[in-house]
Amino acid sequence: MPNAIEPKTSWLNLPNLLTGLRFLLVPVILSLILTDRVGWQVLGTVLFILAALTDHLDGRIARQRRQVTQFGKFADPLADKLLTLSVFVAIALRREFTAVATYIALWVAIIAVREIGITVLRIWALAKGTPVATSLWGKAKTTVQLITIITTLALLNLRQAARDLPASAAYYPGDQIVIAAVHVLIFGCMILTVVSGAIYLIKNLSDPRRAGEFS
């Protein structure tokens, strides 16, 4: 008796829909966090957090339901990088950081080069059939990036609230402290991002078969 053919997993499933939702949320989040109204900025921050959660959920659901697809393997990291890098760029463009704009723009540019470069290598690894997994360094990098973005957005929300709602001004630590804190956060995030990328390249050069493991 011939073996039953295992049905192919359709690309149209919940994990891929969550990935697609993350793509759609990017312009919405950017438009909200770049406004001058605290309510819209807070909504943008909340949507960013929800979008970041979908990055965790879509992979988990795909594995649990055995709905891992080639489309998902390709689109999921792209949606993740587009979301984080777009918000990093939006933060660098905020007028609050004029005094350190050159430095923040440089740190964000380095993060972007690393993320885009490693993502291209991961896609190349997928095309060659190399299994792709995320290392502890990659997970730490992603976690620190999310913490950096969410903390920065929260501080900017507090700053806007101090201007829109005078009663909240007593809770705002001041522009100098906020600018210094964000500068340190993004710089530290850049260092970890570069270190994790260097580890990826070293592992890849020593064993090309593991090219997908260290993002």
In order of their start, the domains of the chain are: 14-210 (1.20.120)
Q: Which of 20-24, 47-51, 165-169 ranks highest by mean pLDDT?
A: 47-51
pLDDT in tens, 58-73: 777 767 777 667 777 7
- Let me know if 80 is exposed, middle or buried by CB neighbors in 10 A (0-12, 13-18, 19+): buried
Residues composing the chain: 215
Confidence of residue 123 (pLDDT cuts 50, 70, 90): confident
pLDDT at 199 over 80: yes
Read off the pLDDT band of 130 (50, 70, 90): low
User: What mean pLDDT is reported for the chain?
Assistant: 84
Instruction: With beta carbons less than 8 A apart as the criterion, state whether 69 and 13 touch.
Output: yes
Spatial contact of 1 and 60, defined as CB atoms under 8 Å apart: no
pLDDT band of residue 5 (cuts 50, 70, 90) is very low
* CA-based radius of gyration for the chain: 20
The CA-atom distances, in angstroms, between 212 and each of 13, 51, 99, 119, 135 are 24, 24, 39, 9, 9
Question: Tell me: the pLDDT tens digits for 158-188?
Answer: 999 999 998 888 889 999 999 999 999 999 9
